[in-house]
Chain A
């Protein structure tokens, strides 16, 4: 049995250990990785940049704590860009764990905009958080008629009509577009109902696991932008010139991927050697 065959039969716990060590070392060592901006991320940025002060966008923050590492950087970067440009943001959460994520992101960015840019954002005037409602498909359809059908009150119990930001805002026609940051299959409802039925300009930020499945909607024009996983988040951070956790994590991704590729190559060489010897059918 040669070295490749031995390595291909390596206890998988060694693989986990080596990967963990590489990730820890990469986190501790300071170095930069080059990033190339993809067209699908650039188009989200261009859309946000084209907005005028006073324009409205809707953000649907539909992810769970489990995907914070990938999703939070996108949400933070886009919210900060919107607030810097005086764009008004209506936030909804259509996944059950979304409200906590959305509220934290909103409050954190309101704080950081105040500290960094001296802008005192007012809840209800610059931003509104309508909260969570179950059954995303039905809620998305109802928001196409009137936000008040599903959200008569905001997350904090204030009637939506009492919020100055919602004066004159009836449905999707009154927002320039929807940016959906999600780790759930609710994105299908957004594409079918919001874009398909109401022609909403829709951009999505997805987990890495989901991203490859949604490029087809980009080509068909059902979504105009896509940020895929931590890479998409890092590209967006680069675009807004605000290096954050996603860009920082890219150096770790590079080394982790190298380790995985090396193990895949070793495993395959071991497999082919074994097959040639008749060990594997």
Chain B
């Protein structure tokens, strides 16, 4: 084995222990919180895991791999425990068995025979683990896919289709009282008539030209081509707004972690 990885690992381990000791020494402890040693350990571990994940930005390395695998493992275990306690123990057991409800210390709701169906489907899903009986799990999957499709169809139709289309039906001349009134009361204020009309026109033209861009049965030439070009501009501006917000979101995460490292761990900021 090469010396460099051993030395690096030893240095990191030494820094970890040093940080743990220092954080344990300076930890603020009250009677309700965890002990100083425990608090120091968790803060140090959080800081080292944060740095391990960030180290990937330089290049892939064993510390990043460790943090990644730890994250996946802990997440999977957490999800499984939550699923067991909230779905099986929380929902199923109280409706099927009084004895099991008492054993798990959850209030028994009463025997509901139709809850045997999800129990059976649950077992069928586990058949995926069997090399020969794996096909049986498709029944459960078919039920899941069918139910999801059935629930989502009216949902999308109502909130993402009808409501969104009706939201684009808007007056192109907001509060119109004639040209004279428009010019005599002309204002560039955000709540003014001019901005209202402009805003509604942008929505109308944006929707109309955006749809034209996706209409491929006619060649995009002439007036149709101009509308299509305007449509793609609208799409690009939308993607730009999304990108801007995404950058802000990612920087927020970076700020969150650096605030933790510089505040909670290193104590450089309050």
A-to-B contact residues, CB < 8 Å: 13, 16, 19-20, 23-24, 27-28, 66-70, 96-97, 132-134, 137-138, 152-153, 157, 159, 188-189, 191-193, 195-197, 207-213, 216-217, 219-222, 228-231, 245, 249, 252-253, 256-257, 260
A255 smallest CB distance to B (angstroms): 10
The residue of chain B having its C-beta at the shortest distance from the C-beta of A251 within the complex is B255
19 residue pairs of the A-B complex, CB under 8 angstroms, read A20-B254, A23-B254, A27-B255, A70-B256, A133-B90, A134-B87, A152-B109, A193-B155, A196-B158, A197-B158, A208-B247, A212-B244, A216-B167, A220-B166, A230-B252, A249-B252, A249-B255, A252-B255, A256-B255
Residues of A within 8 A of B159 (CB): 188, 191-192, 195-196, 217, 222
Residues of A within 8 A of B158 (CB): 192, 196-197
* A221 CA to B83 CA, complexed, in Å: 35
Given A27-B262, A219-B167, check contact A70 B241 (CB 8 Å): no
Q: Are A220 and B167 in contact (CB under 8 A)?
A: yes
Q: Mark B104-123, 1 if CB is under 8 A from A, else 0.
A: 01110100000000000000
Q: Are B245 and A212 in contact (CB under 8 A)?
A: yes
Those of B219-240 within 8 Å (CB) of chain A: 238
Q: What 10 A-B pairs are tightest by C-beta distance, nearest first?
A: A69-B256, A208-B249, A220-B167, A192-B159, A209-B249, A192-B155, A230-B252, A208-B248, A212-B242, A256-B251
Q: Residue B269 contacts which of A27, A138, A188, A231 (CB distance < 8 angstroms)?
A: A27
* A207 CA to B246 CA, complexed, in Å: 9
Q: Are B255 and A230 in contact (CB under 8 A)?
A: yes
Residues of B within 8 A of A211 (CB): 245
Given A27-B259, A69-B253, A192-B158, check contact A132 B248 (CB 8 Å): no
The residue of chain A having its C-beta at the shortest distance from the C-beta of B59 within the complex is A13
Residues of B within 8 A of A256 (CB): 251, 254-255
* A19 CA to B78 CA, complexed, in Å: 34
Q: Are B166 and A13 in contact (CB under 8 A)?
A: no
A149 smallest CB distance to B (angstroms): 10
B176 at interface by CB-CB < 8 Å: no
* A197 CA to B155 CA, complexed, in Å: 9
Given A212-B238, A249-B252, check contact A220 B82 (CB 8 Å): no
* A207 CA to B251 CA, complexed, in Å: 12
* A133 CA to B250 CA, complexed, in Å: 29
Q: Are B262 and A253 in contact (CB under 8 A)?
A: no
Residues of A within 8 A of B249 (CB): 70, 207-210, 229-230
Q: Are A230 and B248 in contact (CB under 8 A)?
A: yes
